[in-house]
Amino acid sequence: MKRTEKIAVYLKNNKRRIAMSLAGVVICAVSVGVFKLAALGVDPFQSLMSGLDSVIPISFGTLYVIVNAILLLFSIFADRHNIGIATFINLFLLGYITQFTYDLLQKLFPSPSMVFRAVCLIVGIVVICFGSSMYMTADLGVSTYDAVAIVISGKWKIGKFKYVRICTDLVCVIAGCLLFVAAGNPVSHIPRIAGIGTIITAFFMGPLIEFFNEKIARPMLKR
């Protein structure tokens, strides 16, 4: 069978999984844009990245690539099953879609009120959990950060996913804050990288993803 024929067969057999992966990543990217508009704290992984950015004197884009490359190596050695289409869609599309969403929302809502920002925060948390559930259930690869909790809970059998995810998220938030302060930033500025949205996400993202897995994503895949 020729390579093009193999690709055609693969696409035909996995069209629902591919659609769920693509939709999940796009939904996650849009939700991050909503998070940014809320300006009440970023997600836990971005808290860690902000802390690292404070102490490492290279551009944020380069730093982001390096950190994700390290996490990608972790997945390759621990369980390469987590690397797939969704992993690379995350790497190459998520940032652009997030920026487009944020720019568009800023034009539509140039001066959002606190109430509107709080609504955006809630919507962002729910939507990012739903999107994560979609592409993780599709099982065609996950983001390099999502793979960490999956490997610990699934491959290494250390606790349930929702509890492991809470732990990894808390580690990211704490490490990010410590690095941020170690770089010379005042403690009063910590809410810029770890606000109320970050804390809520750290505690509820794992359970919400598992909820959407059970109620929507897995039934959708099996249907």
- Summarize pLDDT for 64-104 with one digit per residue, the tens: 778 888 988 888 888 888 788 778 777 777 777 877 888 89
pLDDT at 7: 54
How high does pLDDT run on average in the chain?
83
Whether 213 has a pLDDT exceeding 60, the answer reads yes
Q: State the residue for tokens 């939507």.
A: 127
Q: State the residue for tokens 């652009």.
A: 96
Q: Identity (one letter) of the amino acid at 129?
A: C
pTM, whole model, 2 decimals?
A: 0.74
Task: Measure the CA–CA gap between 48 and 144, rounded to whole angstroms.
Answer: 14
- Residue 122: which of 48, 46, 213, 196 has the closest Cα? 196
pLDDT at 107: 92
Q: 157 is in which domain, residue-wise? A: 3-222
The CB density around residue 6, as the number of other CB atoms within 10 Å, is 10
Number of domains present in the structure of the chain: 1
